[in-house]
Amino acid sequence: MQPALRKRDDVADLFAQASAFHRSGDLAKAQAGYRKILKKRPNHFGALYQLGLSEHQSRKSDEAERLLKRALLVEPRSVEARYARAVVLSALQRDSEALSCFDDLLALKPDLFDAHLERGKLLSRLRRFADAAVSYDHAMLINPQRLDVLINKGEALHYLGRFVDAIACYDQLLAAHPTHLAALINRGCAFKDLRRADEAIADFDRALALSPDDTIALINRGETFLTLKRNADALHDFDRVIALDPQFALGWLGRANVLMLNKQVSEALEACQRALAIEPNSAKALNQIGQCHALLGDAQAAVACFDAALAIDPADEIALESRIFSLDFCEVGFAQHQAARSEWWRRIGSKIAEMHPPHHANDPDPDRRIVVGYVSGDFKEHSAARTFRPVIQSHDKSQVEVICYSNSPIQDAITDTFRQAADRWRDVTQWSDDQLADCIGVDKVDILVDLSGHSRGNRLSTFARKPAPIQVTAWGHATGTGLATMDYLFGDPVMAPPEMRHLFTEQIYDLPSLIIIEPPPSGLRSLEAPVTSNGHVTYGAFTRANRLSSAVLDVWARILRADVAARLLVKDYLLSDAAIQARLLADFAARGIAPERIDLIGPTSRDEHLAAHRLIDIWLDPFPNGGGVSVWEALHMGVPVVSKLGNGMCSRAGGAILSAIGMADWVATDDDEYVDIALRATPDRLNTLRRQLPDLIAERCAPSVYTRAVEAAYRTMWQTYCRGRRA
C-alpha cells in the first residue's frame, strides 16, 4: 500500500518566496508576500516578524513596532522578535519602553551580545554613560573578539571624563587594527581633553594620512593647534574644513577663534554669524559672538549671548566664565558679580569637588618654612605677569619655598625669569587636572595660589579638587572666584569695602594694595609734563578699547568740551582694526568732539608703550571696568590718574591704587567730580607730580615692602590652619 500524498502548503511556499525577496533586498515584493500570508493566517509568526523587520528597513518604524508587538503575542518568548522590537522602539525614541524591552530580553537570554551592545548605545544616547559602559563590558565578556565595541565604550568613558580609560580602549583596538580611523580620531580627542596636545596632534596626523579630507580630524587638530598658540596651523585646518564643507559650522567657528586671537575682531564676528546661520541653536556660536561683542566694547550684548548659550546648555563652562568676565564691564554691583562666580561653582566646580574629596598630609608645624605653589597661565610676556613677578622674585627663601606651575604653551624671556626665581618649576600645560592635583600633593604644597581667576589659562577645576590645605586667589584676576574650596582672596579696603565682604565665598585678606607692578625702566620717563611745551593738556587712556563704555565716552567728551584746547590720546592693540578706529572716532564726533582732537595708537613694543606716557599729562581711568596694571604704569611713569569708584571690584582698582600711594584726592565718586579733578590740575602741579610719584610709590608699595606683607599673610594663614589641625 502506497503512502498518502501530503497536501501542498501554499503558505510555506509563499513564506519561502517572500523571504528570498527579502534577502535579495527587494522589500516591496517581500512585503507583498508577507501580507498575502497574513491574509490567510493572521497569526503567522514568521510573516509578522519578517514584515516588521522589512517595514523598519523601509523607515516605517511605527508600523514595524505594531507588527512586532503582534508577533510577540503569538510567540511571547521569541528572542528574535523581542530584540527587533527593542531596536525599533529605540529608533522611535520611545526610550523607556525600549530599555524595558532590552531588560526583559536579557533576563530571558543574558548572553545575547547584540542586545547588550544596542542597550549600551541607547543608554549613551540617554547620556547614562556609566550604565552604557557596563553594557559594553557585558558585550565584550560574551564576545571578546568584537573589538568594535571598544569604540562605543571609549566614547562613553570620554563623556564621563575618564579620558585615560577611554584611551586604554582605543589602544586595545589600535593594537589589533592600527589604521582604525575612528579609534585614531577618538584617541586624539581624549589626548586633547587631557591637555596632552602633542600626542593628540600625532593621532590626528595619522588619521589625516589615512583620510586627508576628514573634517572631524581637521577640526580637532585645529583646536589643538590653538591650545599651543599655533594660530597659523589652526587657521589652515579650519579653512580646509570650510573648503570641504561650507555648511560645517565648526569650521567657521574655528576660523573665528583664530581671527579673534589675531585681533581681527570684525572679521571674526562675520565668521561667527555664518556659523549661527547654519546652526541657530549652537551654544558654541553664541559664545564666540559674545566674545566678539566683548572685544568690541559691547559688554551687555556679550552677556546676552552668553545667557542665550546657557539657556541651551546650562553647564557650558565657556559661557559661564565668559559671562563672569563680561559682567565686570557692565554697570552692575558686587552682588551680581559674585553671584555669577558662585554659579560657576554650583554648575561646574561643586560637581568636581564631590568626586575628589581632599586629603592633606602636610606637617602642621606653624613655624617651619612654608611651601607656596603659584598656578598661572601667564608666566610669560603678559600684563598680569608684571603684578606677581616682583613678589615671586622678592620672596625670602628662608621662609618660603616657591613652586611655579605653568599652564602656558608659550615660553619666552619672561618665562626664564620665573623659572630662575622658583625653587621648583613645573610645566603643566599638557597635564590633566588629576595629574596636576596629584603633583601638588606630592610636592606637599601648603598654600596654593591661583593667579588667573576666571581669565584665560586658569586651572580653577584643579582648585575645585582642593589639592592643598590653603588656597588663595590673587593678582592676575583677583576679583573673587566663587569657589567654596578657595580660602582667601587678597584685597584691600577700597577694592572690597567691609560692608560688601559677606558676598564673597573667600575670606578677604587685606594687603597694602590689591596689586603692584615692577617699576619700569627709569630711563623711559620724562621729568617734564608735555603741557609745559605744548601749551595744552593731553589726556591719555592706554587701555583696552572694550573698556570704553558709552558712559565713559560721555564723561571724557565733557572734559574735552570744557577745555577746548585739550587733546586725547587713546592707545590699544585693538586700534589696529580700522573698523574699531572708525567706530571710536564716530562715537566722539557724535558727542561734539572733532576727530582731529583724538589721536589713536595701535600695538607697539613694551618700551614704546611706556615711552608713550611722555606724550600725556593726565591718565583717564575708564569705568565701570577700570585699569589695574595700566594705572600703575602711568603712575610709575610720572603721570597722575583720574579714577572713579564704582560698585564692583573691577570698577574700584584705580581708586584703590591711588589711595594706597596717598593720592585719594584724584579719586572721584561721581561723574561731576571726575570731570572736576581732570580739569583742575595746573602745569606746576603736573610737573611736581612727575618728579614725586616714583618716590611716593617706592615708599608705600615697593616690591620688597609689599612682598613682606604677602609673606606675613601666608604665615598668618598657615598658623591659623595649624591651630585648627591641632584642635
Domain match, 480 and 550 both: no
The rounded distance, in Å, linking the Cα atoms of 602 and 635 is 21
The rounded distance, in Å, linking the Cα atoms of 664 and 196 is 49
Q: 438 with 358: CB under 8 angstroms?
A: no
When divided into structural domains, the chain yields a total of: 3
**pLDDT tens-digit readout, 646-683:** 988 889 999 999 999 999 999 999 999 999 999 999 99
The rounded distance, in Å, linking the Cα atoms of 260 and 267 is 8
Domain match, 544 and 397 both: no
Report yes or no on 274 lying in a domain.
Answer: no
Report yes or no on 225 lying in a domain.
Answer: no
**pLDDT tens-digit readout, 44-56:** 998 899 998 998 9
Report yes or no on 363 lying in a domain.
Answer: no
Whether the pTM exceeds 0.95: the reply is no
Closest CA to 41 of 18, 10, 72: 10
- Check residue 263 and give its pLDDT: 83
CATH number for the domain that contains residue 61? 1.25.40.10
Domain match, 460 and 585 both: no
Distance spanning both ends of the chain, measured CA to CA: 107
Q: 329 with 301: CB under 8 angstroms?
A: no
Domain match, 390 and 454 both: yes
Domain match, 526 and 452 both: no
Q: What is the DSSP letter of 107?
A: H
Alpha helices in 377-530, H assignment, sequence order: 385-394, 413-421, 433-442, 460-463
CB atoms < 10 A from the CB of 199, how many? 17
In the chain, which stretches have pLDDT less than 50? 1, 3-8
Closest CA to 457 of 477, 474, 475: 477
529 contacts: CB under 8 Å, gap ≥ 6 = 617, 683, 686, 687, 690
Three cell numbers, residue 685 = 602741579
Structural domain span for residue 567: 522-705
Q: What value does the CA radius of gyration of the chain take, rounded to a whole number of Å?
A: 33
Burial class (CB in 10 A: 0-12, 13-18, 19+), 269: buried
CATH number for the domain that contains residue 393? 3.40.50.11380
* One-letter-per-residue 3-state SS of 106-158: HHHCCCCHHHHHHHHHHHHHCCCHHHHHHHHHHHHHHCCCCCCHHHHHHHHHH
Domain match, 569 and 430 both: no
Amino acid (1-letter code) at residue 113: F
Report yes or no on 233 lying in a domain.
Answer: no
- Check residue 430 and give its pLDDT: 83
Domain match, 196 and 60 both: yes
Three cell numbers, residue 348 = 561646574
The rounded distance, in Å, linking the Cα atoms of 298 and 668 is 24
CATH number for the domain that contains residue 546? 3.40.50.2000
Closest CA to 373 of 350, 405, 420, 406: 405
Q: What angle do CA 107, 109, 114 make, to 5 degrees?
A: 110
Report yes or no on 599 lying in a domain.
Answer: yes
Domain match, 34 and 177 both: yes
3-state SS, residue 401: strand
- Check residue 5 and give its pLDDT: 43
- Tally of residues, the chain: 727
Report yes or no on 406 lying in a domain.
Answer: yes
Q: Which of 201, 224, 245 is the last residue of a domain?
A: 201
Q: Which of 135, 170, 201 is the last residue of a domain?
A: 201
DSSP string, 460-508: HHHHTT--SSEEEE-STT-S----TT--EEEE-TTTS-GGGGGG-SSEE
- Check residue 6 and give its pLDDT: 45
Q: Which of 201, 227, 247 is the last residue of a domain?
A: 201
Largest interatomic CA distance in the chain: 140
Closest CA to 200 of 219, 173, 179: 219
Domain match, 685 and 548 both: yes
Closest CA to 255 of 232, 235, 282: 235
Domain match, 531 and 679 both: yes
Report yes or no on 208 lying in a domain.
Answer: no
Report yes or no on 343 lying in a domain.
Answer: no
Domain match, 472 and 548 both: no
Domain match, 461 and 533 both: no
For 472, phi then psi, to 5°, come to -130, 145
Q: What is the DSSP letter of 4?
A: P
Amino acid (1-letter code) at residue 123: L
